[in-house]
Amino acid sequence: MTQMHVQSDGHDEHGHDHPEFLAHHWDNPVQQFEAGKLGMWLFLATEVLLFGGLFCAYAIWRSNHPELFKYGSQFLDTTWGAINTAVLLVSSMTMAMAVTFAARGKMKAVAVSLVLTLLGAGGFMAIKYVEYSHKFHEGFYPGMAFYEKPNASDLWMPLEETAIAQKAEIAAAEASDSAHLAAEDVARAEMPSPPADSQVWNQPEAGIGPQGLTTNNEIMEMAEFSAFLPSSVLGNIEDQPEELAFAEHHKPGEEVHLSHPLQDPERPVNAQKFFTIYFMMTGLHGIHVVIGGIVIVWLLWLTMRGRFSAAYYTPIDLGGLYWHIVDVIWIFLFPLFYLI
Amino acid sequence: MSIFGFLATVKLGEATSGGGFWMPEGASTVAAEVDEVFYFINNINYFFFALCTFVLVYFAIKYRLKPNHHSGFSHDAPTHNTPLELTWSIVPLFLVGVMFWLGMDGYLRLNESPEDAYPVSVTGQKWSWTFQHPEYGVTEAGELTVPLGRPVRLLMTSSDVLHSLFIPAFRVKNDVVPGRYSSLWFEATRPGQYRLYCSEYCGKDHSKMLAVVNVLPEEEFQAQLGKLAREYEDIEDRDLPVYALTRLYNRCASCHSLDGKSGTGPSFKGLWERTKNGTTAFTDGSTLADYMRPGGEFEVPENYIRDSILNPQHYIVQNYLGAMPTFKGQLKERQIDALVLMIKNMDRLVDEQGNPIESPDLGDADISTGAGQ
Amino acid sequence: MTGDPRPLEQPTLTDNYLTYTRGFLSWALTLDHKRIGLMYLCSVLLAFLLGGIFALLVRTQLLVPEGLIMDQDDYNQAFTLHGGIMVFLVIIPSTPAALGNFVLPIMLGAKDVAFPRLNLMSYYLWVIGAIFMVYSIFGGGLDTGWTFYTPYSIDQNSAMGGVIPAVTGAFILGFSSIFTGMNFIVTIHRLRPKGMTWFRMPLFLWSIYATAVIQVLATPVLGITLALLAVERAFGIGIFDPTLGGDPVLYQHFFWFYSHPAVYIMILPAMGIVSELIAVHSHRHIFGYSFIAWSSVAIAMFSFIVWGHHMFTSGQSPLVNVVFSFITFSVAIPSAVKVFNWLATMYKGAISWNTPMLYGMGFIFLFVIGGLTGLYLGTLSTDIHLHDTYFVVAHFHYVMMGSALIGFIGGLHHWWPKMIGKMYNENAGRVAFVLFFIGYNMTFFTQFMLGSHGMPRRYATYPADAGFQMYHIISTIGSYMMAIAFFMMAAYFISSIFGGRRAAANPWGGRSLEWQCTSPPPHDNFSEQPEVGDCYDFSVLRWDEATQGYVWREDVDRPGEKSHA
Ligand code: HEA
Ligand code: HEA
Ligand code: CUA
Ligand SMILES: [Cu+2]
């Protein structure tokens, strides 16, 4: 790897037409190139599956707690998101140009395109930095840092709340939509009344929504059994934030300015989950952008050293594929978080 | 070794009555059914196992390489035979189809509890089981009393990690999941005592999370629960410590010893001394004395014990993890009082080795619980 | 046609890959697939020893009901590390990464795998992952079981501090496995020699290929699951933690989505090895080639849609259970097809009773037991009773240890002469096999009885009066016998390196390409790409007394073989 320049017809000790970029176990450049390409595609498949796990988590969370996503997404800045999408798309284009120029042997143009792509990567990360620091400033952190973690023993309450909501929903479906709130009252009336000595429940973050696999039946049964549940369950139900109702009397996109989300009286239970998945997915994507940037720098370096030619530019081609997949993943992330 | 296998074949006749060589004796309505499916699969498996083993050994011996046969291996033996391939794909396919069907059929019946089942709510927590009988307002720990010949339905949840309730004699099992309810039903067919295990790994004392299912004929069952329902109401205040030690301590035993050895939690021995003197240190560096000043949270030291039982996560004793589950809602007021009194009077209740003293002398015991002060 | 000199060529001391270059760095930085394979082999066997020691601790503890040597916490760590090491460090990399790396390019007549640097990187990822795994013992301890079930594993108050290092280790090992898989897929696609169509590949390559597909498709999901688990434990994000509104059962879905296919990552390569062992040592054309090949692919595909059978009692909906039970049975059919085809291969063969063949036959016997007991577990109503008991433990040891690992050990005996260039002591090999076989069945067959009588797994102690102890004692004695057998194996392998007889190029009479280069192979495997024939036509070989190996017969044409006159 120490030779300064490589030509496809360069001298080499293997004899006949065995150019130096060709590793000893390949018969010819085409075979090597195709292997590289297949390998890259396989790698991209694993990348997609890696994100696939998170998309799956997103889908499950969203279907379990739609209100959190409605609530959370209004705090994301669609303008910055859109600008970032554009930046990535343009960088994808310049990357494609680099590959085309490489195929034609125009190495100067390749270098210029790579620099442009790199600028795109940098710009994207800069904007992400602005967005992230803004979020942190407002007090939106991922996970537990959002606020204190409640005790395992405090699990009971939200289940109860869910039962009420479920009953309300069922009742509402039977009556009409406008009767929703009334139905909720009915559901409450059906619940056993709290004993006199019960404490006021004040840890709303311990929410358990309808689980993906919990059947309605079980929740209904639970309500029947509630007479034998720990007394903490029967806390002051009236004080609960009405997560389901929230989405209805709150226009999405409406300006909400708060110094800290905890002070928002209308914040639904477990609001931090939205930010958790937001930070995880965009964070993992950001890591990929950074890796992509490093790859581009490496390609640029090799280009400047004259390693590539029209006959051999496999790394540029493969780097390009990687960059496109990073772009494509963002194309999915943007609408999922910012738009819907 | 396959001797075992053949032994089992001999026993096959008993299969339909439940139990047999492979299964423990059954004691519920579903047991016989489950065993039937088991032995059905068993028979098919014996057949294929015997077939494969026989063919394997027979060929291996019959076609052993002859010493002079080291060259000129024939190339004429058949290399494929599609009808044969199809046969040995389709026959097993058919058989597994039957297995699937039988299993599903049995499972769905195992899953639908009868309407009028006797309800019990179950809480699993590290590392004990609590059974509540809503119809009697009775709570049992470590022992589940159920009626004979009546369907019983367990509605289960966990207050910490996953557990799983498993009664081999009844062939039932279901995971117990925090934040969610799962259920299970059975109808016992024979009176007696049966083992109940926790079969989902739940940490240190997973293997000690055992209980006994006590199946009683209807009248005895009602009498027993009636007795349990009145149990602590009839007790004199003075007898509460002994009551706690014999009836309640088993819920604490997996973590708290009586002989001074520390386990998952600190030993009960000497605990009261520490508490009274306020010398107990917490993980955050404070000591109990800090909260015992007049007007402080624990001006009355008994309240600390009480608080430890109801809100164990508030103050974590140094050198321990906050592993203690809350007993809020699982113990009645009077039971908590009993526990407090038990801890206060530990020295009178057990000897140096931590063994309970027969009829301890509690004549002059301090039986104030701090409540109302 | 005169005798072909090439297969008879004796390796010279300076001519083979072992001696090609010298010095520590020439190994540590090697790109030669054979050296990497050998490095994997040593590492995997070391890990196996470690996992085995934990197994013996587990077995010794269970001799008496109250536990003989450990307290509960130590026992929980012992079986966790036993399971974790055996699965992630031993059985998943054993056949593909160790034997596959060595054999696969040679079988293809290639000089190396497609991406030699990536291959070396996979190896070092394995090493780093292994260090993390082992570190988890000291860095706080690991007691979650190899499954890392939530919420136990994310609860700071329960599970010990080793969870994050361990899942980091498993994450890294996952990438090692992904890169190996990618490498093999590309190698098989792009480096097959002229004349080797897909249906002329040795069956070992088919099974490696199917395995690689699973590795590439399933492992990333494990990666992200473990990452989520680590983040959940560290920051409390609320996806698996019920106190934060998460769903602990969701974790199980994620986990088994990888780990069920993973069990076929373990068994498929072993099945490939067995196809080779049975054919070569029966000196008889493999029966039903294309059925065996396709059944590998079928198993790989079905393996992705049956994961729910590990969760029949988890509280998922009955309908989901029924569907998963149904699909589970579909995997049994391709497995049955393989078993019957192997048996048919032996029909009218010329079976040599040497050590590799004994392992091949042992595999069939044990796999039939292991596989058939999977049927009780796939059946819903019986699995409710058997789930999380020793019955499951026995089932998966029969398939993982009795089959997957035994396939690997058989392959090791088969290719050892090729790898090292020396023969091990045949008689010692046979004795060790018999000892292993008896010990094995004593250890694990008894566990079926334990399980069906209700002994739950992961128990450090058990009730004294439940009638379990007798079985435990037999089981423990069996495990000691097995340990002796493995130590014997280690002894005769090691002594063969120093004192063994020089191995011929083709000591068993194989036809696939790796038997056409010298033992051990030269650095570049083949100076000229060999031409490909029917790799299961053994009629063209004859025994050569002088070299104690097989050579081409002079009197027959080798169909499809280039003449080397
Ligand atoms: C190499 C690994 C391997 C392999 C190959 C298999 C193969 C199979 N496994 Fe196993 N399994 C494990 C490793 C493996 N398993 C592990 C590790 C666990 C537990 C993990 C844990 O909880 O820690 C497990 C657990 C497990 C369970 C969950 C049990 C529980 O926890 O409750 C189930 C349930 O369906 C199951 C089923 C099967 C089936 C149906 C097959 C089939 O593929 C078997 C097919 C083979 C045959 C059927 C035999 C050959 C065929 C014939 C001789 C012809 C005659 C055939 C018929 C009549 C059908 N396995
Ligand atoms: C491939 C996987 C594999 C292998 C090979 C083994 C091998 C063994 N296993 Fe393992 N086992 C698992 C995978 C495996 N196990 C898994 C996944 C679990 C579940 C863990 C959990 O619940 O989380 C488990 C659990 C498990 C349990 C249940 C614990 C419990 O639930 O409480 C038991 C109990 O008997 C046990 C026993 C054994 C024994 C005696 C061996 C013996 O066969 C081991 C014998 C080996 C040796 C003694 C090493 C000798 C090696 C050398 C000398 C090196 C040199 C070798 C050569 C050159 C060839 N295992
Ligand atoms: Cu509770 Cu295991
Ligand atoms: Cu499985």
Average pLDDT over residues B61-66: 86
Amino acid A180: pLDDT: 41
Residue B364 in domain: no
B61-94: buried (b, 16+ CB within 10 Å) or exposed (e) per residue?
eebebeeeebbbbebeeebeeeebbeebbeebee
pLDDT tens digit sequence for B34-58 = 998 999 999 999 999 999 999 999 9
The DSSP call for residue B289 is G
Amino acid C130: pLDDT: 93
Which chain B residue has the Cα nearest residue A209? B179
Whether A225 sits inside 8 A of B119 (CB atoms) is yes
Of A117-126, C241-250, C399-408, C429-438, where does mean pLDDT reach its minimum? C241-250
B101 and B183: one domain?
Answer: no
Of B143-152, C10-19, C148-157, C527-536, where does mean pLDDT reach its minimum? C10-19
Amino acid B14: pLDDT: 39
- Given A155, A214, A227, which is nearest B178 (Cβ)? A155
Amino acid B169: pLDDT: 92
User: Degrees (nearest 5) of the Cα angle B344, B345, B351?
Assistant: 135
Looking at per-residue pLDDT, the higher value among C398 and B373 belongs to: C398
Residue C5 in domain: no
Ligand nearest to the CA of B173: 1
B187 and B228: one domain?
Answer: yes
Q: How confident is the model at residue A270 (pLDDT cuts 50, 70, 90)?
A: low
| Chain B residues near residue A228 by CB distance under 8 angstroms | 121, 132, 134
Residue C14 in domain: no
Looking at per-residue pLDDT, the higher value among C15 and C564 belongs to: C15
User: Separation of B272 CA from ligand 2 center, angstroms?
Assistant: 46
B128 and B220: one domain?
Answer: yes
B125 and B183: one domain?
Answer: yes
Question: H-helix or E-strand containing B82?
Answer: helix B82-111
Cα distance between residue C136 and residue C149, in whole Å: 17
Give the residue, out of C86, C335, C391, with the most ligand 1 atoms within 8 A of its beta carbon, to mutate for a pocket test: C335
Residue A77 reports pLDDT greater than 60:
yes
Residue B361 in domain: no
Give the residue, out of C386, C391, C397, with the most ligand 2 atoms within 8 A of its beta carbon, to mutate for a pocket test: C397
Whether B180 sits inside 8 A of A211 (CB atoms) is yes
Please tell me the total count of domains within chain C.
1
Look over chain B and give the mean of its residue pLDDT values, rounded to a whole number: 83
Which of B201, B254, B255, B257 is the best mutation test for C, with the most CBs of C within 10 A?
B201
Please tell me the total count of domains within chain B.
3
Q: How confident is the model at residue C473 (pLDDT cuts 50, 70, 90)?
A: very high
CA distance B327 to chain A (A): 9
Residue B74 in domain: no
Q: How confident is the model at residue B363 (pLDDT cuts 50, 70, 90)?
A: low
Look over chain C and give the mean of its residue pLDDT values, rounded to a whole number: 88
Which chain C residue has the Cα nearest residue A49? C220
Residue B70 in domain: no
Average pLDDT over residues B160-180: 91
Note the pTM of the prediction, 2 decimals: 0.82
Looking at per-residue pLDDT, the higher value among C438 and B329 belongs to: C438
Amino acid B151: pLDDT: 93
Residue B125 reports pLDDT greater than 70:
yes
Residue B144 in domain: yes
Q: Which chains touch C (3 or more CB pairs under 8 A)?
A: A, B
Q: Is B119 on the interface with A (CB under 8 A)?
A: yes
**Nearby residues of C269 by Cβ (< 8 Å), 6 or more positions away:** C95, C96, C99, C100, C204, C207, C208, C211, C404, C407, C408
| Chain C residues near residue A142 by CB distance under 8 angstroms | 235, 237
Cα distance between residue C278 and residue C367, in whole Å: 14
C contact residues 156-215, partner B, Cβ 8 Å cutoff: 156-159
User: Separation of C394 CA from ligand 1 center, angstroms?
Assistant: 11
Whether B22 sits inside 8 A of C462 (CB atoms) is no
Whether A35 sits inside 8 A of C183 (CB atoms) is no
CA distance B215 to chain A (A): 23
Give the domain extent around B182.
Answer: 118-233
Amino acid B71: pLDDT: 67
Residue A8 reports pLDDT greater than 60:
no
Amino acid A269: pLDDT: 58
Of A48-52, B164-168, C327-331, C352-356, where does mean pLDDT reach its minimum? A48-52
B122 and B228: one domain?
Answer: yes
Amino acid C222: pLDDT: 87
User: Separation of C85 CA from ligand 1 center, angstroms?
Assistant: 20
Looking at per-residue pLDDT, the higher value among C526 and B178 belongs to: B178
Residue A155 reports pLDDT greater than 80:
no
Of A11-20, A159-168, A244-253, A329-338, where does mean pLDDT reach its minimum? A244-253
User: Separation of B141 CA from ligand 3 center, angstroms?
Assistant: 15
Q: How far apart, in Å, are the Cα atoms of C501 and each of A14, C34, C428, C515, C547?
A: 36, 21, 14, 17, 11
Binding site membership of B6 for ligand 3 (Cβ less than 6 Å): no
The question of ipTM being above 0.85 is answered as no
**Nearby residues of B79 by Cβ (< 8 Å), 6 or more positions away:** C285, C286, C287, C288, C289, C536
Q: In 3-state terms, what secondary structure has residue B265?
A: coil
Residue B69 in domain: no
Average pLDDT over residues C238-257: 84
Amino acid C334: pLDDT: 93
The CATH number of whichever domain residue B319 belongs to comes to 1.10.760.10
Residue C55 reports pLDDT greater than 80:
yes
pLDDT tens digit sequence for B89-108 = 999 999 999 999 999 988 98
- Given B33, B52, B197, which is nearest C339 (Cβ)? B52
pLDDT tens digit sequence for B268-300 = 888 888 888 888 888 888 888 888 877 778 888
- Report residue B343 as tokens: 């801890």
B177 and B104: one domain?
Answer: no
The CATH number of whichever domain residue C335 belongs to comes to 1.20.210.10
Cα distance between residue A42 and residue B19, in whole Å: 52
Question: What DSSP line would sit under B113-155, residue for residue?
Answer: --TTPEEEEEEEETTEEEEEETTTTEEEESEEEEETTSEEEEE
B306 and B263: one domain?
Answer: yes
Whether C438 sits inside 8 A of B1 (CB atoms) is yes
Highest mean pLDDT, choosing among A166-175, A303-312, C107-116, C267-276? C267-276
Q: Which chains touch A (3 or more CB pairs under 8 A)?
A: B, C
pLDDT tens digit sequence for B194-208 = 999 999 999 888 999
Q: How far apart, in Å, are the Cα atoms of C55 and each of B206, C59, C144, C484?
A: 19, 6, 16, 14
B214 and B297: one domain?
Answer: no
Cα distance between residue A174 and residue A180, in whole Å: 10
Give the domain extent around C447.
Answer: 24-552
Which of C34, C150, C216, C250 is the best mutation test for A, with the most CBs of A within 10 A?
C250
Residues A24, A27, A33, A34, Cα dihedral to 10°: -130
- Given A31, A149, A211, which is nearest C247 (Cβ)? A211
Residue A84 reports pLDDT greater than 50:
yes
Amino acid B245: pLDDT: 85
Highest mean pLDDT, choosing among C225-239, C255-269, C297-311, C427-441? C427-441
CA distance C356 to chain B (A): 14
Q: How confident is the model at residue A202 (pLDDT cuts 50, 70, 90)?
A: very low
Residue B354 in domain: no
pLDDT tens digit sequence for C193-218 = 878 888 888 999 999 999 999 889 88
Of B233, B268, B285, the residue that ends a domain is B233
Residue B369 in domain: no
